[in-house]
Amino acid sequence: MRIYFMGICGTAMGNAALLARAAGHEVLGSDLGVYPPMSTVLAAAGIAIHVGYDPARLERLAPDLVVIGNAMSRGHPEVEWLLDTRALLFTSLPALLHESVLRHRRNIVVAGTHGKTTTTALTAFLLRENGRDPGYLIGGVPQDPPEGSRLGAPDAPFVIEGDEYDSAFFDKRSKFIHYAPHIAVLNNLEFDHADIFRDLADVQRTFSHFTRIVPRNGFVVMNGDDANLRALGPLPWTRVVRVGLGGENDLRITGFTEGAAGAAFGLEWRGESWAEVRWTLPGIYNARNAAMAACAAGLALLQAPQGAKPEAAVSAAGNATPSSVDPRGIRLDALARFRGVKRRQEARVSTAAVTVIEDFGHHPTALAETLTSLRARYPGARLAAAFEPRSNTARTRIMQAGFVSALAKADEVYLGAVNRAEKLAEDERFDAADAARQLEDRGVRARWFHTNDALLDGLVHDTLPPQGPPRVVVFFSNGSFGGIIDRYAAAVKG
């Protein structure tokens, strides 16, 4: 089949395109922004990428199927041509994944407001390190495993990041509803995506729908410390395993410590020791990601040993009770070697004077947890946070108070330009000037800028040449931050 991906350079779309290519399909696509790393990976796989969107070109290419990314909406030139002519079949990315891969597999679907990408990568990594050949689709660029997507062995689990965002402009269901979970991992639950959900209860509703398609012989692996997840109820139609710090959890994280050398913590399964972990990833949030991944991978190995007939595994799993399962058959020593995912607390520059970190953070909780971890990692350093209000929620005022509280954990704050500010009314958009004033009132040196280039100039002026105590500069954005991260890193190296 000849498949055309509209918006192919997005991480999810690009990795799905690579899956389709690995399955033997002819793959091509288009995007407005053709940029690495995804463009480089796609080109290496022999996938043709067209710049921009052109209905006449799409008609000439005549693919058998068009996959429409969820960033596309009415008014898009290729979308309008498809609807006008009905000349080509089209579908959403989640629907394509279900039909071509997931309905045939025993899937581990990783969901939650935070940590999905890292937990998905961790789960796939642990299964590989324990001798399995899982399939996976990771919504980012992992360093471990070595690529963002893989079909894997047909009888091995498939691990996929389950986003609660909508599937397409014509399918407003959350993506994870398509993903046929056998093991659903619920990392956490907060209000986010205000352009899609009305309130917290609306987000909880879609998560509840997600849990209802987990079969009775499957599992929900849930963050037992999260009150918003506990509010979903007992989930009596399937088996629930809880992970967290509290004593009521099945899998407990114990003795977490963090310092300049890294982090360490223990894992206990129902009161019995499982493992002591020492690794380089920051924060208690990543320790929780590791615990969730270890639990899900261990349960998957119990249910579907590689080489076993799937129907036999289903029968055996259906006879197990929640109290009789034990995921500790999986070895966790490989966690010490796990290098994480690019753009998730990724150190871009590390010198005695200046450390530059890039992070995908775009929610107040994520910013606060990262800054707390950086305080522990770099004691005595001056901590500067640069924030781009870019996501559909972050660029509004809905979470402005939360962002101010989170950014107050830094010593210095640099607020960039609101992305696509012209699309929002002035009283709706994030007010950087007001946020800076509030931060100053809290004793934090704060500046705001009309453009990201101006932010770069201000940051370079303030931090170069290095003087005083060591400085840690962290950039928070779910986009490119106007390219200033690369430019600042180059300036520091120079």
Nearest in space to 188 (alpha carbons), one of 231, 143, 125, 137: 231
Domain residue limits at 190: 101-337
Q: Are residues 136 and 206 in the same domain?
A: yes
DSSP for 410-438, written as a single string:
SSEEEE-PPTTGGGS-TTTB--HHHHHHH
User: Which whole number is the average pLDDT over 410-425?
Assistant: 96
User: Which whole number is the average pLDDT over 471-480?
Assistant: 94
What is the C-alpha to C-alpha distance for residues 350 and 381, in angstroms, rounded to an integer? 13
Query: Which residue shows structure tokens 């000849």?
Result: 2
% of the chain beyond a pLDDT of 90? 86
pLDDT digits (tens, 9 = 90+) for 67-80: 999 999 999 999 99
Q: Are residues 304 and 244 in the same domain?
A: yes
Please state, rounded to an integer, the average pLDDT across all residues of the chain: 93
Q: Are residues 58 and 166 in the same domain?
A: no
Q: Are residues 321 and 386 in the same domain?
A: no
pLDDT digits (tens, 9 = 90+) for 299-341: 999 865 555 454 444 444 444 456 679 999 999 999 999 998 9
Q: Are residues 120 and 258 in the same domain?
A: yes
Q: Are residues 164 and 303 in the same domain?
A: yes
Do residues 184 and 239 lie in contact, with contact meaning Cβ atoms separated by under 8 Å? no
Q: Regarding predicted confidence, which is higher, 327 or 193?
A: 327
The predicted structure's pLDDT at residue 141: 83
pTM: 0.90
Q: Are residues 88 and 153 in the same domain?
A: no
pLDDT digits (tens, 9 = 90+) for 104-115: 899 999 999 999
User: Which whole number is the average pLDDT over 350-364?
Assistant: 94
User: Which whole number is the average pLDDT over 82-100?
Assistant: 97
Q: Give the type of residue at 169.
A: F
Report residue 361's pLDDT band, with 50, 70 and 90 as the boundaries. very high
Residue 424, pLDDT above cutoff 90: yes
Which CATH number is 375's domain given?
3.90.190.20
Rounded to whole angstroms, the maximal C-alpha distance in the chain is 66
The predicted structure's pLDDT at residue 304: 53
The predicted structure's pLDDT at residue 112: 96
Question: 62 burial class (0-12, 13-18, 19+ CB within 10 angstroms)?
Answer: exposed
Which of 337, 363, 384 delimits the end of a domain? 337
Q: Are residues 77 and 36 in the same domain?
A: yes
Q: What is the DSSP-derived secondary structure letter of residue 69?
A: P
% of the chain beyond a pLDDT of 70? 96
Which of 65, 93, 121 delimits the end of a domain? 93
The predicted structure's pLDDT at residue 319: 43
Q: Strand, helix or coil at 207?
A: helix
212: number of CA atoms within 13 Å, CB side?
9
Report residue 342's pLDDT band, with 50, 70 and 90 as the boundaries. confident
The predicted structure's pLDDT at residue 256: 97
Which CATH number is 9's domain given?
3.40.50.720
Q: Are residues 89 and 13 in the same domain?
A: yes
Tokens of 179: 């993903």
**Looking at the DSSP assignment, which residues form a beta bridge with residue 269?**
251, 272
Which of 308, 337, 366 delimits the end of a domain? 337
Do residues 383 and 470 lie in contact, with contact meaning Cβ atoms separated by under 8 Å? no
The predicted structure's pLDDT at residue 37: 72
User: Which whole number is the average pLDDT over 475-485?
Assistant: 93
The predicted structure's pLDDT at residue 158: 98
Q: Are residues 394 and 306 in the same domain?
A: no
Residue 36, pLDDT above cutoff 80: no
pLDDT digits (tens, 9 = 90+) for 362-406: 999 999 999 999 999 999 999 999 999 999 999 999 999 999 999
Tokens of 410: 């830094």
The predicted structure's pLDDT at residue 318: 43
Q: Are residues 180 and 310 in the same domain?
A: yes
What is the C-alpha to C-alpha distance for residues 199 and 108, in angstroms, rounded to an integer? 27
Q: Are residues 49 and 176 in the same domain?
A: no
Least confident of 5-14, 55-64, 88-97, 261-270: 5-14
CB atoms within 10 A of CB 365: 17
pLDDT digits (tens, 9 = 90+) for 105-161: 999 999 999 999 999 999 999 999 999 999 999 988 889 999 999 999 999 999 999
Sign for the CA dihedral angle at 416, 422, 424, 428 comes to: positive
Which CATH number is 328's domain given?
3.40.1190.10
Number of domains composing the chain:
3
